[in-house]
Chain A
Amino acid sequence: QVQLQQSGPGLVKPSQTLSLTCAVSGVSISSDNSYWSWIRQPAGKGLEWIGRIHTRGFTQYNPSLQSRVTISRDTSRNRFFLSLTSVTAADTAIYYCAGIDASGFPFNHWGQGTQVIVSS
């Protein structure tokens, strides 16, 4: 059974960097033809895809956030990470990590979500 466990601070100061971790169990993030994504959801609003990392290690980002986002991974610990720089109040949201079983499918594995508030 695939499980995603998120961790990271829930409060980040403006202009600083938001950093989150997603630990994956039940499948290797470096095997098969799959993607591991970060998605966010401001309170009471819709879902915004942030970006993803492929099992081969290449990344793809939403152009709206590309200049501030880095998604990376640690295959030895089967984890992937989100880094979002220069945050503002507009980055306050619930952040989710998510995965798919194979390329060409939507998200069928989700982390529990992390509420991140940007405030001084």
Chain B
Amino acid sequence: DIVLTQSPDSLAVSLGERATINCKSSQNILSRPNNKSPVGWYQQKPGQPPRLLIYWASTRESGVPDRFSASESGTDFTLTISSLQAEDAAVYFCQQYSGLPLTFGQGTRVEIK
């Protein structure tokens, strides 16, 4: 299985400040045809299903605010919230869809400081 390890498990950030979440894959999952990795990022608020934010490691889903961005470097993936808003308090998950079984990171809780 492809294991995704997120760090940190939680972080507290002041409103307007930057939040950075990391996700490390146990394998290189780069897709040669498009030179991107099949990694998605989700936001989950209490009592709600996850919401897709990012796909193919760095492409923002339609309707997602541009303060959310993501990048990749080898087996390391990063989600950045450039200027944290109150509504961004949530748990964030990475997910790989390169191989079966599909797997998720354990989640990172973002709180407002």
A49-B102, A60-B100, A112-B49 given; A106·B93 CB < 8 A: no
- B49 and A46 form a contact (CB under 8 A): no
Answer yes or no: B65 CB below 8 A from chain A CBs. Answer: no
Segment of B10-18, B19-27, B74-82, B104-112 in the binding face: B104-112
The answer to whether A63 and B61 touch across the interface, beta carbons within 8 angstroms, is no
Q: Main SS of the interface on chain A?
A: loop
Q: Tell me which of B55, B105, B106, B107 contacts A106 (CB under 8 A).
A: B55
Chain A positions 46 through 63: 1 when the CB is less than 8 Å from some CB of chain B, otherwise 0: 111100000000001011
B: number of interface residues (CB 8 Å): 22
Residue from A96, A106, A111 with most neighbouring chain B CB atoms (10 Å): A106
Interface of B is mostly: loop
* Chain B 21-46 interface mask (CB, 8 Å, partner A; 1/0): 00000000000000000101010000
Q: Number of contacting residues on A, CB 8 A?
A: 21
Could you tell me the distance between the alpha carbons of A113 and B44 in the complex, rounded to whole angstroms?
A: 12
Known: A47-B50, A96-B49. A105 touches B55 (CB 8 A): yes
Hey, which bits of chain B sit against chain A, CB under 8 A? 38, 40, 42, 48-52, 55-56, 61, 93, 95, 97, 100-107
Known: A47-B50, A105-B56, A106-B52. 14 other contacts (CB 8 A): A37-B102, A46-B104, A46-B107, A47-B93, A47-B95, A49-B101, A62-B101, A98-B49, A104-B38, A104-B97, A106-B97, A107-B52, A111-B49, A112-B49
